[in-house]
Amino acid sequence: MGYTLHNRPGSGGLVVEAALTLADAPFTLAELESRAGTPLPESFRATNPWGQVPTLILPNGSTMTETSAILIHLALCFPDKPLGPRPGTPMHGAFLRWIVFANVNLYEAVLRRAYPFRFTDDPAGHDALRSAASRRMCEAIALIDANVEGTFLLGEEMTVADIYIAMFLAWWPGDVEAPRVARIAEEVRCHPVVGPIWRRHFGGR
Ligand SMILES: N[C@@H](CCC(=O)N[C@@H](CS)C(=O)NCC(=O)O)C(=O)O
């Protein structure tokens, strides 16, 4: 039995789908009919009580959520596939660092913009929350940009961390001053395996 990936078009499961595909892992896509950036149907809580995608059902039937955890798990399960550096190496430390950094800072900034009502009960505070999230996003992307080691974040090999970071850039509505990260996003969009998945989710974005 393979994996089942619950996602919806244009949502965060893109990077998990890319990781499973790069790993040659057998998986089924369970796509929800829901528009990216809106709350998911309440009925989805039967699958993930937190009500979010990506939700990955592992081959043994257990449920995984949290994109960073899923990516790290898959990279460890498929060490011979091009998902991430060898565990135990300094580069693996950097891989973990940036995946978690992106989850905590980039994903959270995106969520503050999309769902401000979850972060303040004061509707008058939504604009201020969005602008603080934008500032935080720009600061976080700039820090990643300053740490790009080569063609990709960790050097000359693409990892799932690159796809993850590129996804946030595609979601972000404003301009972000991050030329190295923008170049990584271009590499990801042109990648022979990841490109077709990217276009199915994002079209020409
Ligand atoms: N911390 C979660 C965040 C996942 C998340 O926010 N997913 C969005 C789609 S990109 C979602 O499910 N939004 C619907 C909702 O929160 O109701 C992760 O890292 O996977």
Enumerate the β-bridge partners of residue 4: 28, 57
| 189 pLDDT more than 80 | yes
What tens digit of pLDDT does each residue of 15-72 get? 999 999 999 999 999 999 888 878 899 999 999 999 999 999 999 999 999 999 999 9
The pTM assigned to this predicted structure is 0.96
Determine the pLDDT at residue 38.
84
List alpha helices for the chain, DSSP H. Answer: 13-22, 67-77, 90-101, 108-114, 126-146, 160-171, 179-190, 194-202
Determine the pLDDT at residue 191.
98
Determine the pLDDT at residue 166.
97
| 174 pLDDT more than 90 | no
| 1 pLDDT more than 80 | no
The alpha carbon of 195 and the centre of ligand 1 are apart by a number of angstroms equal to: 22
Which DSSP string do the residues of 70-102 spell out, in sequence order? HHHHHHHH-TTSTTSPPTTSHHHHHHHHHHHHI
Determine the pLDDT at residue 34.
84
Tokens of 106: 């980039």
The alpha carbon of 51 and the centre of ligand 1 are apart by a number of angstroms equal to: 8
Determine the pLDDT at residue 43.
93
- Ligand 1 atom with the smallest distance to the CA of 54 is 20
- 7 within ligand 1 shell (Cβ under 6 A): no
Determine the pLDDT at residue 160.
98
Query: What angle is formed at CA 190 by the lines to CA 23 and CA 21, rounded to 5 degrees?
Result: 15
What tens digit of pLDDT does each residue of 146-158 get? 999 999 999 999 9
Is the CB of residue 24 less than 8 Å from the CB of residue 81?
yes
Please give the share of the chain, as a percent, with pLDDT higher than 70.
100
pLDDT band, very low/low/confident/very high, at 193 (cuts 50, 70, 90): very high
- 171 within ligand 1 shell (Cβ under 6 A): no
Pocket test of ligand 1: the residue of 42, 99, 111 to mutate, having most ligand atoms within 8 Å of its CB, is 111
The alpha carbon of 52 and the centre of ligand 1 are apart by a number of angstroms equal to: 4
Enumerate the β-bridge partners of residue 55: 6, 65
Determine the pLDDT at residue 169.
92
The alpha carbon of 19 and the centre of ligand 1 are apart by a number of angstroms equal to: 18
CA 163 to chain centre: 7
| 177 pLDDT more than 90 | no
pLDDT band, very low/low/confident/very high, at 76 (cuts 50, 70, 90): very high
- 39 within ligand 1 shell (Cβ under 6 A): yes
- 107 within ligand 1 shell (Cβ under 6 A): yes
Enumerate the β-bridge partners of residue 56: 5, 64
- Give me the chain's average pLDDT, please: 95
| 188 pLDDT more than 80 | yes
* Domains delineated in the chain: 3-77 (3.40.30.10), 90-194 (1.20.1050.10)
pLDDT band, very low/low/confident/very high, at 182 (cuts 50, 70, 90): very high
* Amino acid letter for position 126: H
